[in-house]
A = this chain, B = another copy of it.
Amino acid sequence: MSEHDLRVGLVGAGRMGADHAVRVHERTSGARLVAVADPDLERAQQVAEGLGARATQDPYDVITASDVDALVIASPGAVHEPLLLAAIERGLPVLCEKPLTPDAESSLRVLEAEEKRGRHLVQVGFMRRFDAEYVELKRLLGSGELGRALLLHCAHRNPSSPPGFTSQMMVYDSVVHEFDTTRWLLDDEIAAVSVRAPRSTAQAPEGLLDPQLVTIETAGGVLVDVEIFVNCGFGYQVRCEAVGERGTALVGADRGPLVHRNGQWGGAVTADFRDRFGAAFDREFQRWADAARRGEVDNAGANAWDGYAAAAACEAGVRAQTAGQRTEVDLVERPDFYARS
């Protein structure tokens, strides 16, 4: 509705930011893009152009603009903290791509700022929470039909890793999703992380341990194994099987037309995360914008506490990887401000 359209500012005009710009402007009802910031002004202009938004190099121009009602952050994690603090200061609803910040300590500062501001403003872009299959899996686990959850088996595969991708980034950029889905699906915290690696694929760049096998223990006693494989070669695949006391449920099975041809049956694997989770992103943005227009946050989304907990798990994961042993996750006590509803 035009009078009440949510006017969105975007910080970060890389691949993800460009996607989100179009998503906000052309696929999110009741929202429109008004400003785009990127250190690379040309890139900001390319994204803004055609959508009727203005471009700038300075993210604070966007954050402080009087015609910006809400903010999307799609810049690298390393610069999130000051952006988030500024947005919180102004009272702007923010949808921040993961990670909240790259480490638990800086994430805590964001939590403190938000609590001080006295209002929930920050949502972290863990889009799997909006995937129809994951939502149904959470419903199944909550219904008790499968009994109490005991194990999760996860696989997270990318066809190939981008240049410069490191073994640590496999935890920070990839397994971070499994940290969040584990917490969210089980309504539980992560207690410890272990990492092991088999021999690496010859398809991986020199020095990258790929694949790796991450084991997560939750405070409640659930074990989660995660295969992270960023040069699997064949496509993008995210799978999770929950094993409960009375049954199992698997999400992430193959989709699309079943073709018989040339001695083979089967179909096409999704090519990348946008192919696999595009609808989840759309749903996430629509709900976020709807809530922001109402002056609320979407409780289905990940909040700042979830971002902090994921950062702490990533830290433990990387320590586990380096030390080659089980590493516990240290979390501060959960503030009342972030108490489970």
Min Cβ gap A253→B in Å is 6
Tell me which of B2, B198, B217, B261 contacts A223 (CB under 8 A).
B198
Residue A331, interface by CB 8 Å: no
Q: Which residues of B contact A227 (CB under 8 A)?
A: 151, 153, 243
Q: Are B246 and A261 in contact (CB under 8 A)?
A: yes
CA distance A146 to B229 in the complex (A): 14
Min Cβ gap A55→B in Å is 16
Residue A225, interface by CB 8 Å: yes
Q: Which residues of B contact A251 (CB under 8 A)?
A: 257
Min Cβ gap A273→B in Å is 15
CA distance A307 to B219 in the complex (A): 39
Q: Are B265 and A246 in contact (CB under 8 A)?
A: no
Tell me which of B1, B31, B243, B247 contacts A211 (CB under 8 A).
B243
In the complex where A2-B3, A29-B31 touch, is A150 in contact with B246 (Cβ < 8 A)? no
Residue ID in chain B nearest A5 by CB atoms: B2
Report A261-290 CB contacts with B as 1/0, cut-off 8 Å. Answer: 111111111010000000100000010001
Q: Which residues of B contact A211 (CB under 8 A)?
A: 150-151, 243
Min Cβ gap A157→B in Å is 8
Q: Which residues of B contact A264 (CB under 8 A)?
A: 234, 264, 266-269
Min Cβ gap A53→B in Å is 10
Residue A213, interface by CB 8 Å: yes
Q: Which residues of B contact A269 (CB under 8 A)?
A: 260, 263-265
Task: List A203-238 residues whose CB lies under 8 Å from chain B.
Answer: 203, 211, 213, 215, 217, 220-223, 225, 227, 229, 232-235, 237
Residue ID in chain B nearest A199 by CB atoms: B221
Q: Which of A133-141, A166-174, A333-341 contacts B (4 or more CB under 8 A)?
A: A133-141
Residue ID in chain B nearest A134 by CB atoms: B257
Main secondary structure of the interface of A (DSSP, over half): mixed
Q: Are A27 and B25 in contact (CB under 8 A)?
A: no
Q: Are B258 and A198 in contact (CB under 8 A)?
A: no
Q: Which residues of B contact A237 (CB under 8 A)?
A: 260
CA distance A202 to B148 in the complex (A): 9
CA distance A210 to B201 in the complex (A): 33
Residue A245, interface by CB 8 Å: yes
Q: Are B220 and A234 in contact (CB under 8 A)?
A: no
Residue A28, interface by CB 8 Å: yes
Residue A147, interface by CB 8 Å: yes
Residue ID in chain B nearest A259 by CB atoms: B249
Report A71-115 CB contacts with B as 1/0, cut-off 8 Å. Answer: 000000000000000000000000000000000000000000000
Q: Which residues of B contact A265 (CB under 8 A)?
A: 254, 266-269
Q: Are A261 and B229 in contact (CB under 8 A)?
A: no
CA distance A299 to B3 in the complex (A): 31
Tell me which of B5, B137, B148 contacts A257 (CB under 8 A).
B137
Q: Are A215 and B196 in contact (CB under 8 A)?
A: yes
In the complex where A199-B150, A211-B150, A265-B269 touch, is A260 in contact with B245 (Cβ < 8 A)? no
Q: Could you list 7 examples of A-B contacts with CB < 8 Å?
A: A1-B52, A29-B31, A201-B245, A229-B243, A248-B261, A250-B258, A254-B265
Taking A150-B198, A198-B222, A199-B220 as known contacts, 7 extra A-B pairs with beta carbons closer than 8 A to each other, sorted by chain A number, are A2-B3, A146-B259, A150-B229, A196-B223, A235-B263, A250-B259, A265-B267
